[in-house]
Amino acid sequence: MNYNDTMKALCDSILVPVLRTDSTELADKAIDCLVNSGFKTIEITTTIPGIFDLIAKWSKKQIQVGAGTVLNLESARRCIDAGASFIVSPIIIDGLPELCHKHEVVCILGALTPNEVNTVLSAGCDIVKVYPISSVGGPSHLKALLDIFPNTLFMPTGGIKADNLIDYMEAGASLLGAGSSLIDYEALKESDYNRVQNHCKEYIEILDRYKKGAK
């Protein structure tokens, strides 16, 4: 997909699962469960062994696959070559937005304070990942940032749970990132895939109700 398709898919999805594990096999099973649950955008962190193979495999299956925790340009290039449609970095990497846009890939950079937000926006990122937002006030912090940067797409991440999804959306989040609270790794290790999927579907149902104007 091109840049515009990816941006639309991210914003339409609202919730982006952030996958982080030290097992390639577990990661593959987790992605399968997420897709079967209805998720169409998934962030796979570069700390996962075999990430490039995972990106190559799943990017061919009509879902948006992004690479997270990207810490240098070489890693970004390899992820893009493998098929990543969006790149997420917690830091500012010189040349990353330009590299992403050259390949029609969405660039998401991390920031927490107003100064950091201004810096990543000036660098050319498309979406600002506010992480870890739970440590600085949650939804109220997001509202404060939006007062300063009203036209910015913010993606709060860190401490996003089923019981606060709506709070963040009402605070003005464009999309959200959720990791361990969304993906039941213990159930995955026990091969209890129904439990994993049912838990994921709870999040989707909450957001579906929100989209329809009900909580």
Instruction: For residues 163 and 85, give the distance between their C-alpha atoms in angstroms, rounded to a whole number.
Output: 29
Is 129 noted as a catalytic residue in this protein? yes
Q: Which residue is catalytic, options 60, 129, 202, 215?
A: 129
Q: How many helices (H) and strands (E) does the chain have?
A: 10, 8
Q: Which residue is catalytic, options 8, 25, 43, 189?
A: 43
Q: Residue 145 carries which side chain, given as an amino acid letter?
A: L
124 phi-psi bin (left φ>0, alpha ψ -120 to 50, beta other): left
The answer, yes or no, to whether the previous bond of 132 is cis (omega within 30 of 0) is: yes
Work out the burial of residue 110: count CB atoms within 10 Å of its CB; fewer than 13 is exposed, 13-18 middle, 19 or more buried: buried
Is 74 noted as a catalytic residue in this protein? no
Residue 142 C-alpha from the chain's centroid: 17
Q: Which residues are catalytic?
A: 43, 129
